[in-house]
Amino acid sequence: MSVGARACAPGADGHPVGSAKAAVPIDGTVHGTMAPPAAPREPSTDRGDRNHRGHGTARSGRVLGWAALLAFIACAAVHTASSIAGGGFDPRVALLWSSIAAALALIRLLPPRVPEAAMAERIRARMSDRSPGAEAALLVGCLAAFAAADAVLSPVFALIGPGAPPLSYYAAKAIFLLLIPPLFAGGSGITRRSSGPDLLPLAARVHEPWRWAAPVPAAAFLALLALPWIAAPEPPGTLPSDYALGAVVALTFAGVAVADVLFFSVLLQTRLELLFGRWPGIAATAVVYGLSSLVGEPLTGGAHDLASAVAVQGASGLAAGYLWARYRNLWANLLLAGGVAALAMAPPTAAFL
């Protein structure tokens, strides 16, 4: 007898025996009894949780973005009003704001269309083994430590000589914004859960031609800022006798340009973008960047100094932030930061940069 015949052969009680498929009809009865019903499946909540988290992140991003925008507007109004009350509004600040607007427009238009979705996916892939929220909190803690260290080190450096206290700013910045953050947020940072490609090589190895459009708006922004110096060039002044020009330039570039780009753009802004979205991340980083410019300053002007930090230095951070967000080109941001640092040593622009 064949296998098929055995499967359909009747047993002693008259019911077919053999294969379960032949013996069990679709109603679930076996030999006159009802098979136990399958346990009901629990509805999956993964998608709902993801959607809930996504909506929560979007709401938080909108709140952060609007808060940063209102901070810029309020600080610009306070800065303008206090400047007029104190003797007149500096037209160079108006030049700065118009230069920022021009730079933002150029960044958006050069080129008009870029594969931003693909670039965003590459960023997410390289940051997938990280905890952006925890790392952002640690980075903000480094900023607070930078401010505290400058206050502690300044009197220590004063023991060396009258020209040494300003070096406390560079020392504290190098330690807390350039050396310590990579220990936990860098390519081999302790908060990273696995090894693999990191963000910095993506920013430093720029292979796509469209990403090399970034130096154009950066150079245009610097050229507009330099118009007061171009119109009336002045020497940078007499340097302290115990400083060499090369040392001053190296300290300024390393302590300001490199540290600012790596800390604020590559580390902090990227994580805030992942948490809250592009523009909320850019705006929040710009506000924090502006406030950080108060480290080491006497703050004799009170609210005017605070408003000026956000309305002037923080506003320039918008251009740097959008430049980074659109191109992810480390060299263009270094060009921008280095150029601003150089202009800050020239008398016509040093007063407001």
Model confidence pLDDT, tens digit, residues 109-160: 999 998 988 999 999 988 888 889 999 999 999 999 999 999 999 999 888 8
Which tokens hold the place of 288? 């924090």
Residue type, 95: L
- How does residue 29 score in pLDDT terms, banded at 50, 70 and 90? very low
Mean pLDDT of 295-318: 88
Which tokens hold the place of 229? 């110096």
Of 188-202, 213-227, 269-283, least confident by mean pLDDT is 188-202
Tell me how far the alpha carbon of residue 111 is from its chain's centroid.
22
The predicted pLDDT at position 138 comes to 94
For the stretch 36-91, pLDDT in tens is 555 555 444 445 554 555 566 778 888 988 999 999 999 999 988 888 887 777 78
CB 329 within 8 A of CB 114: no
- Which tops the pLDDT comparison, 270 or 244? 270
The predicted pLDDT at position 332 comes to 97
pTM for this predicted structure: 0.79
Contacts of 276 (CB under 8 A, 6+ apart): 57, 60, 61, 64, 65, 284
The predicted pLDDT at position 188 comes to 59
The predicted pLDDT at position 123 comes to 92
Predicted confidence (pLDDT) at residue 243 exceeds the cutoff of 70: no
Q: Is the peptide bond before 201 cis (omega within 30 degrees of 0)?
A: no
The predicted pLDDT at position 119 comes to 92
Predicted confidence (pLDDT) at residue 7 exceeds the cutoff of 80: no
The per-residue b/e assignment along 287-312, b for 16 or more CB within 10 angstroms, e otherwise, is bbbbbbbbbbeeeeeeebbbbbbbbb
CB 90 within 8 A of CB 306: no
